[in-house]
């Protein structure tokens, strides 16, 4: 049995000058899978891909299969994939019911999470919708809106893309882009907040429209409620598409819980000549991304307080790997 590899780490380095954070270094250190997949029979590589990831295996496997089909000449228009949608909702529920309460100093809602998993797996949307509208979630929502936050009125968000439109922006991927993806030469954030840009329901609380952390948590909750109401449309979490970039080269885009995932396969016959993966964490934890701006200039006299604030900031961006902070 193949075990998931070490998925890497987001490293956050802080330096202070006087009483303020003067420098923020953000790096996403993740192993490349190109060497693992290159040279393998294409079908074997695609079967292996979801086994190599501890999180979002459904999305990774779906992206791999779609990219291979596109490399063989068969693309597909953007559509909602039910299995990937379910995975997105599971990740959102995990964050809201297990991680968020702990972040706020409360007990995880374990019983609610177990019940929600059953409703999600059984397609029982009404029960899930009722829980998401209930008093426990409303109390959490209020706590999110009241937590220590910071203004973020105009975040740089990745626009909606499908595989075909992405080819005009990036005709072919390479290892440099995989490490530091960019939108028109600059960092851009992906995820639920980006998918819901321009929609007032994503910023339903007055404060959330100007609060970085609250807006991102509420966007995830809005996606959950929309799925439970049966109102999700193409462009929501779980959207997938694929396109042929050239003979033997195919690209797939999948919107995961954390944002845009890109797979690109280059074939040599029926073997993998090259394989490129751009994960949401590389978008959201770009060195010039939002995290550096949120932390630069903060009061550094109480390092424990900085650590707590950094934890809230990282959780708002939701990495798919562990994270570590060190003082430089």
Residue-by-residue DSSP string for 235-251:
TBTTEEEEEEEETTEEE
Question: Would the pLDDT of 105 be above 80?
Answer: yes
Q: Which long-range contacts (CB under 8 A, 24 or more apart) does 130-136 make?
A: 132/221, 132/224, 132/225, 132/228, 133/225, 136/109, 136/112
* Strands across the sheet containing 249-255: 76-80, 239-246, 249-255, 260-268, 271-278
- Alpha-carbon distance 38 to 271, whole Å? 8
Write the pLDDT tens digit of every residue in 29-56.
877 788 889 999 999 999 999 888 877 8
**Contact criterion met (CB below 8 Å) for 224 and 132:** yes
Q: Is the model more confident about 71 or about 28?
A: 71
What global pTM score does this model have? 0.93
Site of tokens 């109390």: 139
Which residues neighbour 147 within 8 Å (Cβ) at sequence distance 6 or greater? 104, 213, 214, 312
Q: Which of 253, 276, 264 is nearest to 71 (CA)?
A: 264
Query: What architecture does CATH give domain 9-327?
Result: Orthogonal Bundle (1.10)
DSSP secondary structure letters along 121-147:
HTT-HHHHHHHHTSHHHHHHHHHHHHS
Continuous segment of H or E residues that includes residue 207: none
Angle at 305 between CA 302 and CA 307, to 5 degrees: 110
Whole-angstrom distance, CA of residue 245 vs CA of residue 268: 15
Confidence of residue 203 (pLDDT cuts 50, 70, 90): very low
CB 261, CB 59: distance < 8 Å: yes
DSSP-based three-state secondary structure for 261:
strand
**Closest alpha carbon to 11 in 309, 308, 285:** 285
Rounded alpha-carbon distances, angstroms, from residue 201 to 1, 146, 233:
44, 18, 15
Query: Facing residues of 236 across strands?
Result: 234
Burial label, 27 (beta-carbon count in 10 A; 0-12, 13-18, 19+):
middle
Q: Which range is least confidently modeled, 94-103, 153-162, 222-231, 298-307?
A: 153-162
If you average pLDDT over residues 139-167, what whole number do you get?
92
* HSE (side-chain half, CA atoms, 13 Å) at 291: 31
The full set of domain ranges for the chain reads: 9-327
d(CA 144, CA 176): 36
* pLDDT score of 199: 66
Give the pLDDT score at 324.
95
- pLDDT at 16 exceeding the cut of 60: yes
pLDDT in tens, 83-96: 999 999 999 999 99
Give CA–CA dist 136/109, Å, rounded: 9
| Residue 8 C-beta-side C-alpha neighbours within 13 Å | 18
Mean pLDDT of all residues belonging to the chain: 92
* Per-residue pLDDT tens over the stretch 216-254: 999 999 999 999 999 999 999 999 999 999 999 999 999
């Amino acid at each position: 049995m193949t075990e998931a590899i070490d998925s890497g780490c987001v490293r956050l380095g802080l330096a202070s000058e006087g009483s303020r954070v003067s420098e923020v270094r953000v790096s996403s250190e993740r192993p490349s899978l190109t060497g693992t997949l290159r040279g393998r029979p294409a079908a074997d590589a695609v079967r292996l891909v979801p086994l190599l990831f501890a999180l979002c295996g459904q999305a990774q496997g779906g992206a791999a299969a779609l990219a291979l089909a596109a490399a063989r000449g068969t693309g597909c228009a953007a559509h909602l994939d039910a299995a990937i949608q379910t995975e997105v909702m599971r990740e959102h529920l995990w964050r809201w019911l297990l991680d968020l309460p702990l972040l706020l100093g409360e007990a995880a809602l374990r019983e609610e999470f177990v019940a929600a998993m059953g409703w999600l797996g059984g397609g029982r949307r009404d029960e899930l919708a009722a829980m998401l509208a209930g008093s426990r979630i409303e109390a959490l929502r209020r706590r999110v809106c009241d937590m220590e936050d910071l203004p973020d009125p105009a975040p740089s968000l990745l626009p909606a893309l499908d595989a075909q439109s992405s080819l005009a922006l990036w005709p072919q991927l390479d290892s440099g882009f995989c490490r530091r993806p960019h939108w028109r030469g600059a960092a851009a954030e992906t995820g639920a907040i980006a998918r819901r840009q321009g929609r007032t329901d994503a910023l339903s609380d007055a404060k959330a429209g100007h609060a970085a952390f609250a807006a991102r948590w509420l966007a995830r909750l809005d996606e959950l409620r929309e799925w439970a109401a049966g109102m999700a449309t193409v462009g929501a979490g779980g959207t997938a598409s694929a396109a042929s970039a050239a003979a033997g080269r195919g690209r797939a885009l999948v919107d995961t819980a954390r944002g845009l995932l890109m797979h690109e396969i280059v074939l040599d016959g029926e073997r993998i000549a090259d394989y490129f993966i751009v994960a949401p964490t590389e978008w959201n934890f770009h060195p010039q991304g939002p995290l550096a701006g949120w932390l630069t200039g903060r009061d550094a006299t109480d390092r424990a307080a900085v650590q707590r604030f950094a934890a809230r900031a990282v959780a708002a961006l939701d990495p798919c790997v562990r994270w570590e902070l060190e003082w430089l």
